[in-house]
A and B are shown apart, each in its own frame.
Chain A
């Protein structure tokens, strides 16, 4: 069982990202689950989304999770909330920030000793898609860190997931995914 927790704000696309990832993984024959805690469901309010991936049918519906990966797609949340809660020793953190990994860990001591990767999904999204929607860049970074799928296969799959959007936006997302894949460290 692979488990992922997303830290996001309502409106940044964590749910869409989690569902998109589940969709791609599902086509490879694995079983998936994508869900979220909505809280007060106000745009901008902190929220968490979740993915579960397994070889057999996923029957566990508890919300409690000790994630293998933590995605933080809003830059402030790594600082103002505890993104390491219920983490394991092996949990990997991919965090969007304008800071370097070292600067971020200095600003948030809870991340010390953890396996932390950083990139600026907000800047990438702004520069490619034209809006601060950091979900697809995070998935590009995840492909790099997890080595789950070849990035070309992943982009191809995401083109299908995003197919209902205008072609221009789909193309911009592909650039964003590739940039995130290249820039995460």
Chain B
């Protein structure tokens, strides 16, 4: 069955959800199995409309839950098709079991995760609780800071995930509402150019290859399980980083848009820096520029690839910085923030002496204002001047009530 191509303007005003849906359409996916949940609903809704309007040739499978959605994706990927879906928050929690199946079975699936808080209290707005919840599920995790990046990283994720040396599923994170429902200018690729970049899907060990029958999802016990998981980790640590760099480079050649595992902004001569994820990276960049006008040499580090975690790149990025704040948009639940822990880990066996502090912010969509970031950079400058963290190691930003500080 033939399908129609869509004429796009060079710059379309799209929100992050629509940008992701358009990239999914251009990738010519074989199977999308999905169950809608706010704020990711418009991705699958938009994709379903493309299907209804004959812009999509593949199957769209309506299922009864997110668990079934990811199960459908696993089945279709094992059968040998290009597969993608989208979810958020509780939906991801229900998928969690099957995420481990997908990565363990080494099935390349692309999942758009529109970040949202986890109940209770019930909340549809954005934070990174869902992203962190599946951090150890064995999936690659990209993070988009804007609708443009949600579009680009979708195209990139198929290439990385489906590579026969990789065969690891990939999540593209974007901030619920702040990216997913915020319309901005998006530079588009034509359908042909986008599809050529993603490339034709090349099956591997597919169940529909009748000449080479295989069983997927086998049982192993103590005899083999460890080796399988070790192989997964080894490939994440040794193969995936290089593959991501290769695809980022190809994408830059095609579009001029350069992505890095760690995105540095004004870091070369900075004294103080903020490390964060999502839309906060862009707001922090704007504030950093304003701080420089006030005499504070501020920089920003954005985490583009959260898994596999870019340990060496982070250490390199902040090695000459005097004071660094790590921002976590997730309730730490009796620990330091996840990103804080990873970055502490990146620095531990180095000779670097950086005043490193952690901040919890923005839970349930609470606004991170420019005023918050101005205060934060001033606090970091004081740490830099003193050569040590003057506050407690973990603080909260923007929560009502008496100041919270720990550790």
Q: CB atoms of A and B under 8 A apart anywhere in the complex?
A: yes
User: Which residues of chain B come closer than 8 Å to A23, judged between CB atoms?
Assistant: 13, 183
How many A-B residue contacts, CB cutoff 8 Å? Answer: 70
User: Which residues of chain A come closer than 8 Å to B184, judged between CB atoms?
Assistant: 22, 31-34, 58
User: Which residues of chain A come closer than 8 Å to B404, judged between CB atoms?
Assistant: none
User: Which residues of chain B come closer than 8 Å to A18, judged between CB atoms?
Assistant: 183
By DSSP majority rule, is chain B's interface helix, strand, loop, or mixed? mixed
* Min distance, Cβ A47 to any Cβ of chain B, angstroms: 12
* 1/0 contact string of A105-148 vs chain B (CB within 8 Å): 00000000000000000000000000000000000000000000
Known: A19-B13, A23-B13, A26-B13. A60 touches B370 (CB 8 A): yes
User: Which residues of chain B come closer than 8 Å to A35, judged between CB atoms?
Assistant: 15, 177-178, 181-183
Let me know if B370 and A62 touch, CB within 8 A.
yes
Chain A CB within 8 A of B268 CB: no
Query: Which interface class (under 10, 10 to 19, 20 to 34, 35 or more) fits B?
Result: 20 to 34
By DSSP majority rule, is chain A's interface helix, strand, loop, or mixed? mixed
Most buried by A among B175, B183, B368, B370: B183
User: Which residues of chain B come closer than 8 Å to A22, judged between CB atoms?
Assistant: 13, 183-184
Chain A CB within 8 A of B367 CB: yes
CB nearest to B283 among chain A residues: A61
CB nearest to B285 among chain A residues: A59
Let me know if A62 and B124 touch, CB within 8 A.
no
Known: A35-B178, A62-B367, A62-B370. A26 touches B283 (CB 8 A): no
Let me know if A33 and B177 touch, CB within 8 A.
no
* Min distance, Cβ A29 to any Cβ of chain B, angstroms: 9
* Min distance, Cβ B168 to any Cβ of chain A, angstroms: 30
Let me know if B282 and A61 touch, CB within 8 A.
yes
User: Which residues of chain B come closer than 8 Å to A33, judged between CB atoms?
Assistant: 182-184
Let me know if A62 and B177 touch, CB within 8 A.
no
* Min distance, Cβ A26 to any Cβ of chain B, angstroms: 5
Chain A CB within 8 A of B385 CB: no
Chain A CB within 8 A of B390 CB: no
Query: In the complex the two chains form, what is the Cα distance from A15 to B18 in whole Å?
Result: 14
User: Which residues of chain B come closer than 8 Å to A36, judged between CB atoms?
Assistant: 177, 181
User: Which residues of chain A come closer than 8 Å to B369, judged between CB atoms?
Assistant: 62-64
Query: In the complex the two chains form, what is the Cα distance from A33 to B177 in whole Å?
Result: 12
User: Which residues of chain B come closer than 8 Å to A34, judged between CB atoms?
Assistant: 13, 15, 182-184
User: Which residues of chain A come closer than 8 Å to B175, judged between CB atoms?
Assistant: 61
* Min distance, Cβ A38 to any Cβ of chain B, angstroms: 7
User: Which residues of chain B come closer than 8 Å to A31, judged between CB atoms?
Assistant: 184-185
Query: In the complex the two chains form, what is the Cα distance from A19 to B179 in whole Å?
Result: 14
Q: A62-B283, A62-B368, A63-B369 are in contact. List 13 more A-B contacts (CB 8 A).
A: A15-B181, A23-B13, A32-B184, A34-B183, A34-B184, A35-B178, A35-B183, A59-B282, A60-B282, A60-B283, A62-B367, A64-B370, A64-B371
User: Which 7 pairs from chain A and chain B are nearest by CB?
Assistant: A61-B279, A35-B182, A59-B282, A34-B183, A63-B367, A23-B13, A59-B286
Q: Using a CB–CB distance below 8 Å, which chain A residues touch chain B?
A: 15, 18-19, 22-23, 26, 31-36, 38, 41, 58-64
